[in-house]
Each structure stands twice: as C-alpha cells, then as structure tokens.
Amino acid sequence: MPAKDNSSSHRSEDYDLQIGDTIPYYESFHDETLNMVKTILKEPKIWLDTGCGTGTLVNKAVQEFDTTSFILSDPSPEMLNLAREKLSNQTKRLRILNPNETSNISLGNDLKPDVITAIQAHHYLSKEERTETTKVCYDLLRDDGVYITFENIRPKTEEGIRVVKEYVKNYQLKRGRDEETVNNFLKRFDVEFFPIKVEEHISLLEKTGFKVVELFWMSYMQAGFYCIK
C-alpha cells in the first residue's frame, strides 16, 4: 500500500470514502458548521477553510452561500489537488493557497475573512503548536468574525477514555473496517493525535482573545466550538 500523503489515517484518494466509517457523525460536522454560519453572519464575504482536505465543506458551502468567496488551505498537496478537482466549476469564487500549515498562512492586512473554519484540522498539533495556530486564526479574522473548529476531545477520566475507544471500535467494526485497521487507528490516540478536554479547548480559545466562545456540538470523541472575535 502506498504511504499516506497527509496527517490523517487515510490516503487522500481514499479519504472521502473512509472518513464516515471512522468518525461517527462526521457529515454532521459540516452541516452544523453551515447552519452556525447562517445563524451568525447570514452571507459572509470571505471564508477561509484551513485544513480543507478534499474540499467537501466548501463544496457544500458554495451551494448555500451565493456571494461568498472561499479560500482553501491544507498542508497536503494531494488533498488540495482533490479539492481543486471537486470544485472545478467554482473557480470564480475560489482561491486555493499553496500547501501550508495553518500557522504559516498569510493573507495580507487588507484581506480579512469573515469566517475561518478548521474542521478536524489541528488535533495533530502539540499544545504549543495548537496555541500558536489558534492565535494565527484569530489574527487573520476580521473583528466580529466567526471562527468554527471541530476537534477531537479527551474524556475526563481513564475509564472515560476506555469507554469511548470501545465505542469507536464497535462503530468502525459495524461500518465494515477490519479489527487490525481499527486497533491501529485507536493506537494513534496520544501518539499521532493529541486530544484535549473540552474545558481546555474553551480555555485556549478564551485566552486567545475571542469575546464569545461556545460549545455547540459534542459526540463521543469530537466537539465543535464557535467563537466570535
């Protein structure tokens, strides 16, 4: 099997087919993000999706927001190529940045997104890297702009960790993944991705400077937060 070409547990070409068998309710992350943007901003002018993957979120968003311009960023060239192909009929409202980590994105002082989204994008980072990356998103955003992030979360207790791992294992097995693949995925916990508790997410976002920080979605090992600058 060819080596992975991104930080997830899937090759880029397999990502869309496999992610729903890996993370429960994954499609809801995108749907709830769109609903939250509609609720707060109605029709944003500029939307940056960092860690955009294959462009699935933006592909949904262009159908819902008629005048919004979208900027896509991801560290993986292969992911960006798939996003470019998926969104080939939307080039007039689309700008795809060169492959880059969120912490290295630069848009210029005259370009301030109304919305920045980071959906399952930053949980591979260390504590220091996560702090730096969150601050970059804050600085890029316009005043009163909205930052929405979905991230892996850490249960409060060791027993909670055991239970959620067992839940995810059963979910993936029922979705047709073999036991070896499932066990290898669970071994990535605290090795390849580094979940933090909900309270730690909220504290980080508040310390970054956001005037509003709210949890609006939680399911087993993932949570969604919206923030207003």
Q: How confident is the model over 167-197, as pLDDT tens digits?
A: 999 999 999 999 999 999 999 999 988 899 9
Looking at the chain, the whole-number percentage of residues with pLDDT higher than 90 is 81
Q: In what order do the strands lie in the sheet with 146-152?
A: 94-96, 69-73, 46-50, 115-119, 146-152, 222-228, 212-219
Whether the pLDDT of residue 68 is over 70: the answer is yes
Name the residue with tokens 């892996």: 152
Query: What Cα–Cα distance (Å) separates residue 6 from each residue in 67, 124, 144, 186?
Result: 31, 11, 32, 18
How far is the first Cα of the chain from the last one, in angstroms, to the nearest whole number? 44
- Report which of 91, 138, 134 is spatially closest to residue 113, judged by C-alpha positions: 138
Walk me through the domains of the chain, giving residue ranges and CATH numbers.
Answer: 12-156+191-228 (3.40.50.150)
Amino acid 15: pLDDT: 52
pLDDT-based confidence at residue 109 (cuts at 50, 70, 90): confident
Count CA atoms within 13 Å of residue 75 on its CB side: 14
- Round to whole Å and give the CA distance between 195 and 202: 13
